Amino acid sequence: MKNIYVNYKEKEPCFSSISEAFSYISEGYNAPEATYPAENEQLEEVNLYIAPGIYREKVALKKPYVNIIGEDAASTILVYGDYAFDTMPDGSNRGTFRTATCRIETHDVTVRNITIQNDAGYGHTVGQAIALYVDGDRNSFYDCRFIGSQDTLFTAPLPRKEAQPGGFIGPGQHKPRTMGRQYYKKCFIQGDVDFIFGGACCYFQECTLYSKFPEKRPPEAGDVSIFGYVTAASTFEEEPYGYVFESCELTSNCPENSICLGRPWREYAKTVFLNCRLGAHILKEGWDDWGKNHSHFYYAEYNSTGEGASPATRADYSHQLTDEEAAHYTKEKVLQGWMPV
């Protein structure tokens, strides 16, 4: 086990930025780069301790077996402000997938007690702006905060095909679409439009999903009766699980009946809420079909509570699970044998 540090001056080796620490892991310590899932790897595990502070950096980690540990999420903040409508040197827009503040492009990474934020602004002004981009297997997050507006958390892989040419320009554009498992516990995730999106198999446990009101939204932004969507899954057709939220709380400063639980980014999106408390901001219908075939995607709830729980008014293509059906969505089954603590 190797310990390294950011801004703990009495510790060695110590770095002044997260970028420097990631470079050390990648170039001077935990090499070579590994693919996932791991097979017969001999790399030593690394603990990276990050002191409280605001780190305005754009970072990427490509080496596995790293534990990233902040003192607490309120005081240990990684933030940047790239956004999709930004103009690149060649005159094109940056696009969604080059905006991430932090990219984790490997497997077996654990992150604790850190805020990862994209502070570019609201989606109706700057476009998509990813805080955290996760592309790997067996990656887990505990007591973290992910803060943004549109497209806060991207859970790779990307869909297999673009809806329009150039839509996936970015670091993962040509990577194999490898399915990864991700786990989030007691995390705070904030955004407005599609702020949890992607194709991974993810289990969210005891998390808070905060739908923030998109201030100063212009009339041309669309139907102002709906202010956002919590999820936009793009689950592959052959995958049995997509997003599962267990014992989570959905809160907001949006008006009542104005936020959808989810809409399908791709045809076979799968999203299930178990034992979650839903605020009054959740739309009575619960879901939006985004023009997709109702027999393809799968949306379900089990034992929802709170003012936003309304089984009788939910969209007829969604499901209210029985006890027997809900038993298929345990952490062990969803994560297919991988059991993070």
On whether residue 96 sits in a domain, the answer given is: yes
On whether residue 164 sits in a domain, the answer given is: yes
**By the 8 A CB rule, do 138 and 107 touch?**
yes
State how beta strands 201-205 and 139-142 pair. unpaired
On whether residue 12 sits in a domain, the answer given is: no
Contacts of 10 (CB under 8 A, 6+ apart): none
Tell me the per-residue pLDDT of 156-178, one tens digit each, with 9 for 90 and over. 999 999 998 999 999 999 999 99
**Pseudo-torsion of CA 279, 284, 288, 291, nearest 10°?**
-170
Which whole number is the average pLDDT over 227-248? 98
**By the 8 A CB rule, do 303 and 274 touch?**
yes
On whether residue 22 sits in a domain, the answer given is: no
Q: In this predicted model, which residue has the larger pLDDT, 215 or 194?
A: 194
On whether residue 104 sits in a domain, the answer given is: yes
Q: What is the DSSP string of 11-73?
A: SSSEESSHHHHHHIIIIIIS-S---SS--S--PPPEEEEE-SEEEE--EEE--SSEEEEES-T
On whether residue 93 sits in a domain, the answer given is: yes
Q: Can you give the residue range of the structural domain that contains 86?
A: 46-334
* Share of residues in the chain with pLDDT > 70 (%): 94
Tell me the per-residue pLDDT of 196-208, one tens digit each, with 9 for 90 and over. 999 999 999 999 9
Confidence of residue 135 (pLDDT cuts 50, 70, 90): very high
On whether residue 110 sits in a domain, the answer given is: yes
CATH number for the domain including 299? 2.160.20.10
Peptide bond into 171 cis (omega under 30): no
pLDDT of residue 18: 98
Q: In this predicted model, which residue has the larger pLDDT, 216 or 127?
A: 127
On whether residue 54 sits in a domain, the answer given is: yes
pLDDT(285) > 60: yes
Instruction: Please state, rounded to an integer, the average pLDDT across all residues of the chain.
Output: 94
Structure token digits, residue 9: 């001056």
Confidence of residue 108 (pLDDT cuts 50, 70, 90): very high
pLDDT(97) > 90: yes
Contacts of 108 (CB under 8 A, 6+ apart): 36, 38, 64, 65, 66, 136, 137, 138, 139
pLDDT(30) > 90: no
Tell me the per-residue pLDDT of 248-272, one tens digit each, with 9 for 90 and over. 999 999 999 999 999 999 999 999 9
pTM given for the model: 0.96
Determine the straight-line distance between the first and last CA of the chain, rounded to whole angstroms.
19
pLDDT(36) > 90: no
- Measure Cα distances from 162 to 16, 118, 130 in Å: 39, 24, 18
Q: How many domains does the chain have?
A: 1
Rounded Cα–Cα distance for residues 57 and 79 (Å): 6
Confidence of residue 142 (pLDDT cuts 50, 70, 90): very high
